[in-house]
Amino acid sequence: MNPSSKNNNSDNVNSKNVNSLLCARMKERRTMLNLTLKQIAEALHITEATAQRYECGEIKNIPYEKIVMLAEILQCSPPYLLGWEYLKDLPPEVERILNYYNQLNEDGKKEAEKQLDNLTLIPKYTETDK
């Protein structure tokens, strides 16, 4: 095997890793935000089938402008989607609360925020400086 073909194989492996990470992060963020592939497709102005092909990795070369739009929809950065950076690690209980919150409709979100506001006014539920 000559050196140039070895480099090509190495490049392909890196490209595959980036693509599989993009797929995993796309699905992770989409499900965390309770979005459907249809909603993603509509926001990206593509068909639902194309969005599904993005998520499963069947389409390898997603246009940059679509990645930027997708990151905005998924409330993260393009570098995060591409595996170049990580979201701040959240404790599991915060992730769980965010997942519950994201399942609510707009009225439910407003009510949850009111309830949290009320809880912060009750001393026994708030953290105090020690």
- Please tell me the distance from the alpha carbon of residue 53 to that of residue 62, in angstroms, as a whole number: 10
**pLDDT tens digits, residue range 36-92?**
999 999 999 999 999 999 999 999 889 999 999 999 999 988 988 888 876 666 667
Q: E strand or H helix at 8, and its extent? A: helix 3-32
Quote the pTM value. Answer: 0.56
* Contact status, residue 65 vs residue 58, Cβ threshold 8 Å: no
- The DSSP line for 73-96 is HTTS-HHHHTTSS-PPPPPHHHHH
Residue 94 has pLDDT above 80, yes or no: no
- Give residue 16's pLDDT: 61
